[in-house]
Structure 1
Amino acid sequence: MRRRSVFAAGVLAAVLVIISSPAPAQAADVLRVNGAYSDSPNPGTLVVSVTSTQPVASILAEVVTEDTGAPVAQASDFVLQSQTSDAAFWATSAPLILDALGDYVVHVEVTDVAGNHVRQERAGSLLYRVVTFLDGVTAAPSTVDYDRRQVTVRGTLKGRWPGTGEVRPLAEFPIDINGWDGTPPVSTAPDGSFSSTVTIFGPAPEVTATYYASLDRPYFEQSEPVRIPITIDPRQTRVTAKVDRTRVVAGRSVQVKGQLSWLTSAGWTPYANQASVIYFNLYDDNGCYATYGPTDTDAKGRFVADIVPSQTGYFHVVFSPNDPFNGRFIADSATRTGVVTVLPAGTLR
């Protein structure tokens, strides 16, 4: 009986503990301003990022100057732009219309439906800037060759103002066209137009036009570059070649000689004094090959090479330009010789 009484008392104590234990505490509401920033494509639109466990009831954004903190504008009409598992992004229902371009500080206050309130000083920035862009950019001619490498680039630089979205031409702005090759910038005319003639180089056959942001125009964004590929019509070349014998004992050499020419305005002329441009590929009937060279051309475009062939086959003689700037303006060319038969060593000739 005593043991049963102890057990009953223990059960009763446990029940009392369960009944008298307090309920788990409710998790505290979360309300946090993560940041504020200008949206695109209209920098006059302000976006505020908020993390909250309760629905947001109101947002107030104060736009002030960076240097003095003087008030510039307030915004309280926000619409939900997007949402993730961590935050909601609220954007002003209409772009802000400010009196002057500039980079402004933004303070934000948020209140949720439960009455929780938070104020975040310097929550972010409103970059009230002009978005610049290049319009109607053309390059003519679109094809260049060895003798004619210049291209004229034309277009217009425009700016889209924040807030209103008004588009205006931008005068006296520098436009960089293929600046990497040393071409100086060209200034836009009163109507925003520009024109510049540049020389096309083989390693980069294109024109690129850009307005780069500068310190003297701090509130005009850099434009997206406009790239126009240029086609190169290479100068045609021609290789002739022959071997001095068609049968050779293994270990002996054959002589391959020929001439390299190119097509100029005067017709086919020797392509003279080119270094390391002629290659010799010895092919057999199975498609296997061995490569020899390169070799040079002389003052009359001629070349000669003494080669010990490793197998029976023909020489595929190839010209490949060896000039990083002019190479793409000059076409490759090739020819083949007659078959050279390699006889076993000791075979009488």
Structure 2
Amino acid sequence: MGQWPGSGAITPMGGLTVAVNSYMEYAEVTTAADGSFSATLPVTDQYQNRIEAAFQYDPNHVFYNQSSSKTFPITVKKTATKIVETPSERKVPFKGTVNSTSATLLWNSPTGWQPLAGKTMGSNSFGDFVQRTTDAGGNALFPATQPLWSNSSIAVGWHSDDLFLADAQASVDIMVVQPAAFRSLTATRSDAATVEVGGSMRFEGNSTPGTIPVNIQYSATGKGGWTTVATVPDARWNGEGYAFSTTAPQAGAGYWRATYTGAPQFENAVSQVVYVAAP
């Protein structure tokens, strides 16, 4: 629209060139008799976040002022993507490895989740940064991890190379079962009706249980029929190991052992067997 200096009337301005600009995309259009115009610009860049129109200098209309529209924001609503990650195992022994990890990259298409082929996913969970390219089904296979000493996680990510698709990340926790073992066990008769049992445990991994309950068991033959006759609620550090001791009533001869149940985070452990004679 133009405002004439003589009358002040505001009228449509036909036949003028208008530039429409959006970051690196640009088009020129000519106004119709009613001053209207239309332009279509593709959205091709992540920094293309606004669009505006301007009437700039025209040598055929040197007394026409320049004019521009307000700037309109452009927001790209990215389509969701996801990674479905499947490690070959989720629980490994101390210093064990996850032998392989498969990952599938999908995007939320109008007809449901569909694979993304030929895309590069990456992960820092294998010692070095590892990249794999998805096949026609959106699948990729990652190699074995390094030996794991403590609980860990395997993370896989995809940095989108498509303006209209969101990034995707996935992570799976891996439990590393920490080693547990008995260092020693002693069992001696304290009187005709009582046996004193003691010993210590060790934990050679990267962590120690918050509490260490130890069961004291008795068997008349040492070949089965083990019965828990006492429990030490929490073995305590004595400078060399985690020590425990208790007394249990037993007048007859038999065999003694200690057990520890640490699953799932720690190994179960059974001590050596000690024989105690009758009084």
Q: Per the shorter chain, which TM-score range?
A: 0.5 to 0.7
For 1:319 and 1:202, the matched residues in 2 are separated by 19
* Counterpart check, 1:260 vs 2:101: no
Alpha carbons 1:210, 1:226 under 8 Å: kept: no
Partner of residue 135, structure 2:
298
* Preserved contact between residue 22 and residue 51 of structure 2 (Cα < 8 Å): no
Q: Give 1:303's aligned amino acid.
A: A
Q: 1:332 aligns with which of 164, 167, 172?
A: 167
Q: Could you list the runs of 5+ residues in structure 2 that have no partner in the other structure? A: 180-203, 206-279
User: Unpaired segments of 5 or more residues in structure 1?
Assistant: 1-157, 283-289
Which of the residues 200, 212, 217 maps onto 2:56? 212
* Counterpart-to-counterpart distance in 2, 1:235 and 1:178: 25
CA contact (8 A) 2:117 2:135 kept: yes
* 2:40 alignment counterpart: 197
Percent identical pairs in the alignment equals 24
Q: 1:297–1:164: structure 2 CA closer, same or farther, 3 Å change rule?
A: same
Aligned with residue 240 of structure 1, among 84, 98, 102: 84
Distance 2:49 2:61 in 1: 31
Write the deviation string for residues 259-316 of structure 1: whole angstroms up to 9, x where unpaired.
11112233222111113xx24365xxxxxxx984443222221112224377631123
The equivalent residue for 2:115 is 270
Q: After superposition, where does 1:117-128 map in structure 2 within 5 Å?
A: none
SS at match of 1:331: coil
Shift of 1:171: 0.9
For 1:1-349, what aligned pairs fall within 5 Å after superposition?
A: 158-162=1-5, 165-178=8-21, 181=24, 183-203=26-46, 204-245=48-89, 246-247=91-92, 250=95, 254-275=99-120, 278-280=121-123, 292-306=129-143, 307-308=145-146, 312-321=151-160, 323=161, 326-327=162-163, 329-341=164-176
Contact 1:247/1:343 (8 A) holds in 2: no
Contact 2:157 2:168 in 1 (8 A): yes
Name the CA distance, whole Å, in 2 between partners of 1:293 and 1:215.
Answer: 59
Q: Is the 8 A contact 1:272 1:297 kept in 2?
A: yes
RMSD: 3.5
The alignment partner of 2:59 has SS state of coil
2:83 partner amino acid: V
Aligned residue for 1:247, secondary structure, equals: strand
Match of 1:15? none
Taking a change above 3 Å as real, the CA distance of residues 271 and 185 of structure 1, as seen in their structure-2 partners, is same
1:76-129 CA-partner distances (Å, limit 9, x unpaired): xxxxxxxxxxxxxxxxxxxxxxxxxxxxxxxxxxxxxxxxxxxxxxxxxxxxxx
AA at the equivalent of 1:211: F
| Distance 1:214-1:341 versus aligned 2 partners, 3 A rule | farther
Q: Is the Cα contact below 8 Å between 1:250 and 1:342 reproduced in 2?
A: no
What is the total number of aligned residue pairs between the two structures? 177
Q: CA deviation at 1:222?
A: 2.4
Query: Are 1:259 and 1:303, in contact at CA under 8 Å, matched by a contact in 2?
Result: yes
Cα distance in 2 between the residues matched to 1:241 and 1:162: 70
Q: State the shift of 1:175 in Å.
A: 1.6
CA distance 1:225–1:294, change in 2 (3 Å): farther
Q: Distance in 1 between matches of 2:146 and 2:60?
A: 68
Aligned-partner Cα distance in 2 for 1:195–1:297: 41
Which whole-Å CA distance do the structure 2 matches of 1:187 and 1:337 have between them? 57
- Deviation at residue 179 of structure 1 after TM alignment: 6.3
Task: Give deviations 1:184-213, integer Å, cap 9, x for gaps.
Answer: 311111111112233223421433222222
